[in-house]
Amino acid sequence: MASTWDSFERYKQRGLDARRAGQWDSAKVYLLEAARSMIELSKAAGTEDLRQARRDTAERLYELAKDCDDAKAKNRKAPSSPGRRPQSTEPAEPGEAQATDWVVKEKPKVRFADIAGLEDVKEEIRLKMVYPFEHPELAEQFGIKAGGGILLYGPPGTGKTMLARATAGELDATFFRVSAADVLSKWVGEAEQNIKKLFDAAASEPRSIVFIDEIESLIPARRDDGGGVMQRVIPQVLQGMEGFDKSTKSRVLFLGATNVPWQLDPAVLRPGRFDEKVYVPLPDLAARAKMLELYLANRPLADDVDLATLAVQLDGYSGADIKHLCDRAALVPFLQAAKGGKAGVITPAILTDAIADSPPSVTNEMTKRFDQWAAETRA
């Protein structure tokens, strides 16, 4: 098999070099040869996972080869001409895209204290991530598992993305957010290099959190071109996560989020991957009261607004719904004043109107479906 590997490497390298030089004909020949070698290697793989990963690599090489035909037909210039960003229809060249092109990197200031409610969820994240991360020696001594990933799931607007950022805030870690949309548009072609860059960038920070948002979009049915890309990218991300897991010194944590967990490929939930699942539900009464406090208390508010009653009324509303409703209510007196009227306040009537205009975005059926999924996967 060693010689097959050698020829695969050689053909792939030549193919990519030729592509970079805009020599489409020879690039195509080399890439097809590389794909053929990879198919041979996939037959020799010991496990189904590995077989699949190699078939995916081969498929990717076929796509690149096909793209050479398109490029030639359109008389396209060499792909690495300066100043151009990779487009979804044109694979990026190896080494061309910087991690910063397709990943949001930040040091979030938001903390758990800024998130209303979800005390159980915060405590689970503390137990599984924060404490082991901050006290690695203790975790090792007591055999507490560190690493792996946590999957946050729950209805839209319940604070999953906010929680992920706040986890980074709690740990003073650098936060890398990878969104499905970015993956689709920017990882095409050189996914492996890009993922490696992401992991290298994360590993080069003293502490980091890699957050994969809308993780279900990364594992779609094999349908269109985008699907093809994902089929290659995701096994690599997941295998990379396992790699991080094995080195206990790793200071990189993984968080994922989804609001359609039942669409996830079971491969995502395997041990060493997103094996800890945490349900992020709609806010309870206390959380809704806290949100109203957060989003109304600092605004000009009529004395007769009763936040406690309002919180009862907003049963079934998500955090995002409540924030939206408060923003909307604040707009009324603001516009009045901005148009030269008397500076008013947010009144109970304005709030009642705002509630009437914005029904909760999460239906009972959706909530039931989450409860059911939560019960099933816990079993």
Ligand X SMILES: Nc1ncnc2c1ncn2[C@@H]1O[C@H](COP(=O)(O)OP(=O)(O)OP(=O)(O)O)[C@@H](O)[C@H]1O
Residue 231 touches which of ligand X, Mg ion, none (Cβ within 5-8 Å per kind): none
Place of tokens 């193919």: 15
CB atoms within 10 A of CB 208: 23
Residue 174 touches which of Mg ion, ligand X, none (Cβ within 5-8 Å per kind): none
Asked whether position 226 contacts ligand X by CB under 6 A, the answer is no
Q: How many Å apart are CA 133 and CA 324, to the nearest integer?
A: 35
Asked whether position 117 contacts ligand X by CB under 6 A, the answer is yes
Q: How many Å apart are CA 29 and CA 44, to the nearest integer?
A: 23
**Token pair for 336:** 């009045």
**Token pair for 136:** 């690695």
The minimum distance between CB 213 and ligand X, in angstroms, equals 7
SS3 state of residue 262: helix
Question: 15-53 as b/e, with b when 16 or more CB fall inside 10 Å?
Answer: bbebbbebbbeebbbbbbbbbbbbbbbbeeeeeeeeeeb
Asked whether position 156 contacts ligand X by CB under 6 A, the answer is yes
Q: Would you say 161 or 174 has its CB closer to ligand X? A: 161
Asked whether position 220 contacts ligand X by CB under 6 A, the answer is no
Task: Single out the residue of 36, 51, 72, 323 in contact with ligand X (rule: CB under 6 A).
Answer: 323
CA angle (160 as vertex; 156, 165 as ends), nearest 5: 145
- Identify residues 161-190 at the interface with ligand X (CB under 6 A): 161-162
Asked whether position 268 contacts ligand X by CB under 6 A, the answer is no
Q: Would you say 72 or 323 has its CB closer to ligand X? A: 323
- Identify residues 153-212 at the interface with Mg ion (CB under 5 A): 160-161
For ligand X, the nearest residue by Cβ is 319
Q: How many Å apart are CA 243 and CA 278, to the nearest integer?
A: 23
Asked whether position 311 contacts ligand X by CB under 6 A, the answer is no
Residues contributing to the site for Mg ion (CB under 5 A):
160-161
Binding residues (CB under 6 A) for ligand X: these are 115-118, 156-162, 257, 259, 283, 287, 291, 294, 319-320, 323
